Structure 1
């Protein structure tokens, strides 16, 4: 049994024109700036969102000056409106979020509140999800690329935030993307293999994933990662779809594969805490009523893992 994604993953949605030519067109940027809209993003990757996580709160560009600030990034244009993002310091937002991944989700309100992409990515409309995802990815990159990898000189943002140039040797650098595979392994019938990573909350399960190594194809990576993490061989590897995952700079490339549930699982020490085969009926119930199936909390809606699990559950 094979299946396809029922919808685009939440963070794969994008509606604005992000062609490279606009980023270096100073005249066009100047024309668009007076009517542009600007997102503010803090150091924790959060922006202001209202209406219970469904609407980005942007601001008129003119509030930031007569032209884009040096640290602004151009996200794209739609219907004659340019969308930008600017970073803000922690003291301009509410109490800073704790470092590291936070599993508990804040209570959503109608009033504007600072939310991260994991919390609201699946709740935003297509435009909002795409803008926020791009902004988070770009600011992660800018924070980690302050110095030239060749000579160590300080780098400055150019091309509307889509490149950095070294002030010493002139080398240009562009945003990095790390390829990672994510694979839903099933038995070809009505069971799916789910795993819980070390450090995850009790009962939290998802599909298997890992980074692509140098000189490795995507399909080879799928086979290697599944064998390394749970000790089973897979076949019938098929592409499903992809999604940016800017934590900090991954592109998740989704696959499905088939394995034999009779093969004993061998878990990667220090990486996989638990793994088990789960029936389609239990997965459907866990999706429809989170928390209703004991010891089975599934991936959140902003992740491609959620869309993969949902699509498999509906395919039978």
Structure 2
């Protein structure tokens, strides 16, 4: 924590206590190599190369002997089979980077109806990455998120957004170039702010009808609009969703959130008012919770967001500071 002056008041900054789950990538992306087709072809053919399979936005994960989730990469030999399965021109792939001297590629095997028979049983199964419950920063979790996000973008940018004609893959999967107007389309990441609003010993949490659990309460969040600073986005979203006026805004941390293609920018926002007026289009409920209630949330009848989310990190670090 760091204390500093804001106007006439002294406020305390809460620093991130550790990296976020999907923000510890071990990859060297070496972007310059994407433009070298001979080098890329050599890596694709190298038996030491690793492939990260993605099936219909799901990642390959297995459970270790200790009961922890772990990512599964496949070898070049296995990937060669996957690449041609139900895909006459080969499954879409994209170069992710270098890890420990070995090239790593993402490969999309969504063309097959059932991937289970293609892989040995010990390889695990394809699951929604958010359901894994990593809990702590894991380098391989970041790689799986990277693969999921990049291939999701590829799948949805097969046609030019300017003229509507087909695009071709360039830059080892990182550019889609229109075959008619020559427009280049790059991977898209939409920035979203997510903030824990606090006032004294209480924090503001809301419940959305979109949440997977009826008892879950989480921090407020929203997309950054064109021409808007991050701080302005925090203040606007909080006011729109809850009617709360915001003063000081402090950055906490960020993490990729490829569900489908966002980066979450975490903040703490100091409330100037307390009366809540929710936007029913965004929230079903919003309440002030004390630190005590959040620490014992099960006893008070509500759940906190998943351990891999930046929302949970904002809450945990705020609780630890008080």
Measure the CA separation in 2 of the matches of 1:237 and 1:310: 18
Alpha-carbon deviations, 1:212-247, whole Å to 9, x = none?
111111111110000000001011101111111112
- Could you say if the C-alpha distance between residues 123 and 234 of structure 1 is closer, same or farther in structure 2, counting changes exceeding 3 Å? closer
CA distance in 1, matches of 2:191, 2:25: 20
User: Unmatched 5+ residue regions in structure 1?
Assistant: 96-108, 287-291
The equivalent residue for 1:309 is 315
The answer to whether the aligner puts 1:185 opposite 2:197 as a matched pair is: yes
Residue of structure 2 aligned with 1:10, choices 21, 25, 33: 21
Question: Offset of 1:293 from its aligned partner?
Answer: 2.4
Partner of residue 69, structure 2:
54
Q: 1:94 to 1:64 in 2, by over 3 A?
A: closer
Q: 1:98 maps to which residue? A: none
State the number of aligned residues: 295
Q: Return the TM-score normalized by structure 2.
A: 0.85
**CA spacing shift, 1:50–1:37, aligned 2, 3 Å:** farther
TM-score calculated relative to the size of structure 1:
0.86
Which residue of 1 is the match for residue 181 of structure 2?
A: 169
Q: What secondary structure is seen at the aligned counterpart in 1 of 2:13?
A: coil
Q: Quick one: distance in 2 between partners of 1:82 and 1:196?
A: 42
Deviations 1:7-31, CA, capped at 9 Å, x for gaps: 1111112111012112222343344
Give the superposition deviation at 1:78.
1.6
Q: Secondary structure at the match of 1:10?
A: coil
Q: Secondary structure at the match of 1:145?
A: coil
Q: Deviations over 1:60-92 (max 9, x none)?
A: 1233349x8561111110221111111113523
Moved more, 222-231 or 5-14: 5-14
The CA deviation at 1:137 is 0.6
**Partner residue in 1 for 2:9:** none
Q: Is the 8 A contact 2:20 2:136 kept in 1?
A: no
1:73 aligns with 2:86: no
**Do residues 116 (structure 1) and 128 (structure 2) align?**
yes
Runs of 4+ in structure 1 deviating by more than 4 angstroms, as ranges, are none
Q: Determine the C-alpha separation between the residues in 2 that align with 1:173 and 1:76.
A: 20
Whole-angstrom CA distance in 2 between matches of 1:303 and 1:278: 19
Alignment of 1:267-286 (within 5 A): 267-286=278-297
1:75-90 map, 5 Å: 75-89=96-110, 90=112
**Conserved in 2, the CA contact under 8 Å of 1:55 and 1:124?**
no
| Residue equivalent to 2:115 | 93
What RMSD over aligned residues (CA atoms) do the two structures have, in Å? 2.3
Q: Describe the superposition over 1:236-277 as per-residue Cα deviations: whole angstroms up to 9, x where unpaired.
A: 10111111111211111111111146x210000221111111
Distance in 2 separating the partners of 1:248 and 1:86: 17
Would the aligned equivalents of 2:91 and 2:107 in 1 still touch at CA under 8 Å? no
